[in-house]
């Protein structure tokens, strides 16, 4: 079985939003994973990792899965006409339209979340309502052909859930075992509900500038 997956690969993408589901999808026998961007020039992720797109947007084939990762680079793309038009076009052809973390904001800017249940990073979850979405604070949310994942590490859970939809649970579990994905974090600080208040305050401050920038951009959009 051949599966075509396209991951939007843009400047200042959050690399784990992209590389976690990439690893899952690329581990499926017969899968073809495209790293999609306007051209094939290398792009630098938000934490400095250099990534090489493999397929230009204009050459993108019909996809089984269209996936939009998040990261600080999403801010610029929410008003990028070419990218938004690409997402709308591909969403009309793909079997599943998906996002990881704040990639959901880009789907929203493209008008693809209206009336749909969706999730994203906890720091941006309430912003989904501006796009007509119904926010849900969960690791993975499926609403028909729309599948969205929460923040960053949720991309692993999301990838396995999508593989199960495409290839069955046995294949998804085989990928999980091959990757030895059995998370046991050393701290219970993975959500604002479990992290100490002082840690939540630090992270809110750290991400505050990007959050404020997104609020201003969203206020100008008509979706």
Q: Where are the beta strands (DSSP E) in the chain?
A: 3-8, 31-37, 43-44, 50-51, 55-56, 65-68, 96-100, 117-118, 134-135, 140-143, 146-149
Q: How many domains does the chain have?
A: 1
CA dist., res. 37 & res. 137, Å (int): 29
Secondary structure letter of residue 132 according to DSSP: T
Neighbours of 178 (CB within 10 A): 11
Give the structural domain span for 113.
3-220
- In this prediction the pTM is 0.96
Active site residues: 101
CATH number where 124 lies: 3.40.50.880
**Per-residue pLDDT tens digits of the chain, which is 223 residues long:** 689 999 999 999 999 999 999 999 999 999 999 999 999 999 999 999 999 999 999 999 999 999 999 999 999 999 999 999 999 999 999 999 999 999 999 999 999 999 999 999 999 999 999 999 999 999 999 999 999 999 999 999 999 999 999 999 999 999 999 999 999 999 999 999 999 999 999 999 999 999 999 999 999 997 7
């Amino acid at each position: 079985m051949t599966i075509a997956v396209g991951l939007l690969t843009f400047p200042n993408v959050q690399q784990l939003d992209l590389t976690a589901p990439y690893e899952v999808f690329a581990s499926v026998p017969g899968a073809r994973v495209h790293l999609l961007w306007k051209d094939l020039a290398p792009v630098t992720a938000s934490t400095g990792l250099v990534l090489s797109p493999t397929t230009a947007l204009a050459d993108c084939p019909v996809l089984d899965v269209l996936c939009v990762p998040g990261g600080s680079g999403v801010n610029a793309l929410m008003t990028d006409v070419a990218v938004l038009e690409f997402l709308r076009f591909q969403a009309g052809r793909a079997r599943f339209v998906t996002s990881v973390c704040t990639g959901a904001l880009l789907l929203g800017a493209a008008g693809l979340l209206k009336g749909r249940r969706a999730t994203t990073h906890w720091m941006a979850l309430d912003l989904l309502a501006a796009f007509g979405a119904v926010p849900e604070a969960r690791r993975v949310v499926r609403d028909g052909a729309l599948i969205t994942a929460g923040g960053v590490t949720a991309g692993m859970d999301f990838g396995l859930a999508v593989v199960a939809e495409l290839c069955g649970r046995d294949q998804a579990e085989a990928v999980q075992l091959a990757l030895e994905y059995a998370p046991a974090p050393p701290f219970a600080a993975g959500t604002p509900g479990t992290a100490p208040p002082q840690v939540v305050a630090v992270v809110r401050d750290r991400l505050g500038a990007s959050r404020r920038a997104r609020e201003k951009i969203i206020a100008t959009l008509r979706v």
